[in-house]
Amino acid sequence: MTLKVRIEAPTTPLISSLATPIKGWISADEYPKAVSIRYGGSEVPLRIIERPDVERAFPGNFGIGFNAKLDFRLEYVDTGKASVDLMIDGERHPIASLDHSAISAGIDNWKQTKKQKMEVIARIAACPVCRSDLEITDSQSAIFCRSCSSVYYRNSTNFDFLPQYLRDEFRLVETENVSAHPYPNEGKKFFKEIIDRGGLVLDMGAGDQAHIHPSIICTEVVAYPATDVLSVGQRLPFRDQSFDGVYTNAVLEHVTDPFACAEELMRVLKPGGKVFCSVPFLQPEHGYPHHYYNMTQDGLTNLFTRLGATPLEKATPNWGHPLYAGQWFLSSYLHYLPVENRKKMESLSIAEFLKLRRSAKEPIFSSLSAEGMRVLACATYATFLKS
């Protein structure tokens, strides 16, 4: 077998962080029988994906992509082996080496930061059902609301304010999708401004952040290692006016009621506190597993100004550039076409693409899959019957 291997991440030869994405591609004249990533005696969970870009670059070869995450936040054993390797049919391809001392120090810091955050949350927690203050001590694993008799739970890393009836009410389902948006520069600036003044920030729908801070409380509907509080945005389990800043990025499109979420964010925000909220406008439907709403800038503004908030800044960030919208839609459109029509569309110039007819006689128009029609719809409609 003839192989070409490219490691796209990590980009440095030494891994020192607790959570490190690993990704890359393989070009081969034969499809590999076994692909894995290993360090010491451990195997890292791996996802194999299609890489049509690699196949285009190396005609006649298979293009195979791989994604994984080397994660030491919950479990780490110093095996004495410093190498992380990609194994292809028994052949070793080095990825990087492990900095065991830096990883061990990072784990100690992670645990201490988590402990600090659990103490902060215990002081500001409230029942998400009736909003009564909760009395929480270090020794409790079960938390009882004296007002409405609701029961919640905690462990050493998070509080669980999501009993099954709230999961059912807000249509939460199990998903293999992982939310892992790193903080953009605009978000980092927002956090720094508030934290430098000694403030506390809520990150609603934080995803699985690789780095945590004692002054940033992360809520999620999935118990990622970085999650501090399991809760829904429509029922935040915090007392009124608990935070100096609230932050949410790429979340409100996935909730059943973004207006209720905005009301909750404003409720837990102190007077004079600041909101950072980013939402999609022109993006294909992308489930987590649900995708309910996209918003214009005016729509996002209205969410908070109707509640008395004063706009400070409205902008389109680099990650929201219109070019990205066009690329996302076009690449998704290609994905939902049969292979033969995908190749035809890829060969079109922009001028030729703009002249395509919306006709059943045009294969690029008529052969788009039903899922593609739904995910990329320019408009949609529905009819209903009143009970």
Residues 86, 169: one domain?
A: no
CA–CA dist 2, 340 (Å, integer): 27
Q: Across the chain, what does the average pLDDT equal?
A: 93
Residues 234, 159: one domain?
A: yes
Residues 98, 20: one domain?
A: yes
Q: Does the pLDDT at position 40 exceed 90?
A: no
Give a yes or no: residue 53 inside a domain: yes
Give a yes or no: residue 384 inside a domain: no
Residues 242, 365: one domain?
A: no
Q: Does the pLDDT at position 372 exceed 90?
A: yes
Residues 82, 176: one domain?
A: no
> And the tokens for 3?
């192989």
Give a yes or no: residue 116 inside a domain: no
Q: Does the pLDDT at position 143 exceed 70?
A: yes
pLDDT tens figures, 81-113: 678 999 999 999 999 999 989 999 999 999 999
Residues 40/84, Cβ–Cβ less than 8 Å: no
Q: Give the pLDDT of residue 63.
A: 96
CA–CA dist 345, 354 (Å, integer): 11
Say how many C-beta atoms besides its own lie within 10 A of residue 58's C-beta. Answer: 15
Full domain range(s) for residue 31: 3-103
Residues 369, 230: one domain?
A: no
Say how many C-beta atoms besides its own lie within 10 A of residue 242's C-beta. Answer: 22
Give a yes or no: residue 382 inside a domain: no
Q: Give the pLDDT of residue 77.
A: 66
- Say what the pTM is: 0.90
Q: Give the pLDDT of residue 79.
A: 60
CA–CA dist 10, 141 (Å, integer): 38
Residues 183, 208: one domain?
A: yes
Residues 315, 357: one domain?
A: no
The type of residue at 295 is M
CA–CA dist 193, 203 (Å, integer): 15
